[in-house]
Amino acid sequence: MESEIQHLDRVFLAIGPLTIYWYGVIIAVGAMIGLWIAQRESIRRGLPKETFMDIVLYAIPIAILSARAYYVIFQWGYYSQHPGEIIKIWEGGLAIHGGLIGAFITGYVFAKKRGLSFWQLADIATPSIILAQAIGRWGNFMNQEAHGGEVTRSFLEGLHLPKFIIDQMYIEGVYYHPTFLYESLWSLLGFVVLISLRKVNLKRGEIFLSYLIWYSIGRFFVEGLRTDSLMLTESLRMAQFISIVLIVIAVVAWWYRRSKGYAKVRYLDQENRQGKTY
């Protein structure tokens, strides 16, 4: 059986010295789809149509740099001995939490500079972000990384996974948990939930807080299965610690904003010009 396994090629396109990897292509596709969705929603809410295009011009490069910096910092024992590999992001090693920190700081500064509401921008952006995360995890799949512990082929077949996923989870003679898939599916479901919440009379910022809670719950449990976790201590995984912190912050912020009785805000629906509660 193992002799028949054909792994997927990590290279998307190679032209002379130029090599483009599936990892980068998949992440780029996720970002573009997310941007398209965010642009449509921002226009529907009466924001200038170029708002999110302007944001991503800053947010995406900063998020990539912060995601890489976050990863390198917690793997410094290795990268201090191999500094030439720090720039090799096409081989993987982008920490989502680092990217989120960079993206949201960028969004906050952008909102202040433009006189916009950060909470509104975050509400619009987070469904796109979690969808991009769901798509981006398939870049980890192509790189055969971000997997969990050892399992058997029969276990994977029992999950009714397609053969190409099962084969790709066969790495150096061992089958592994497809944790990339678990997180991708959780994030995809989260996208559906967050989009659905747009129809509910939530207060400004509560879709963003819902995203923090939803993603962090899934990440906490998936991280417990992974074998490549960044560690805060010998026994504490960094992503699990950050997930707990984000859940607490989101719940406290939700309670605080509700207890202060912030008024529900109204936005302009571009299609029917009627005020709607958001």
**Residue ranges per structural domain of the chain:** 11-47+116-269
How far apart CA 218 and CA 183 sit, in angstroms, is 7
Query: What's residue 272's pLDDT?
Result: 40
Query: What's residue 262's pLDDT?
Result: 59
Question: Does 68 show up as a binding residue in the annotation?
Answer: no
Residue 14: both structure tokens together: 């190679």
pLDDT of the chain, 278 residues: tens digit per residue: 566 788 999 999 999 889 999 999 999 999 999 999 999 999 999 999 899 999 999 999 999 999 999 999 888 888 988 888 888 887 778 888 999 999 999 999 999 999 999 999 999 999 999 999 999 999 999 999 999 999 999 999 999 999 999 999 999 999 999 999 999 999 999 999 999 999 888 889 999 999 999 999 999 999 999 998 888 888 889 999 999 999 999 999 999 988 876 545 544 443 344 333 33
Residue 97: both structure tokens together: 């939490």
The residues, ordered by sequence, that sit 6+ positions from 35 with a Cβ below 8 Å of its Cβ are 52, 53, 56, 128
Its pTM stands at 0.88
Closest CA to 264 of 205, 193, 194, 183: 205
DSSP bridge partners of 266: 277
Kindly report the number of other CB atoms within 10 A of residue 235's CB atom.
Answer: 6
Query: What's residue 270's pLDDT?
Result: 39
Query: What's residue 98's pLDDT?
Result: 92
CA angle, corner 101, sides to 110 and 64, nearest 5?
A: 90
Query: What's residue 214's pLDDT?
Result: 98
Kindly report the number of other CB atoms within 10 A of residue 200's CB atom.
Answer: 11
Query: What's residue 196's pLDDT?
Result: 96
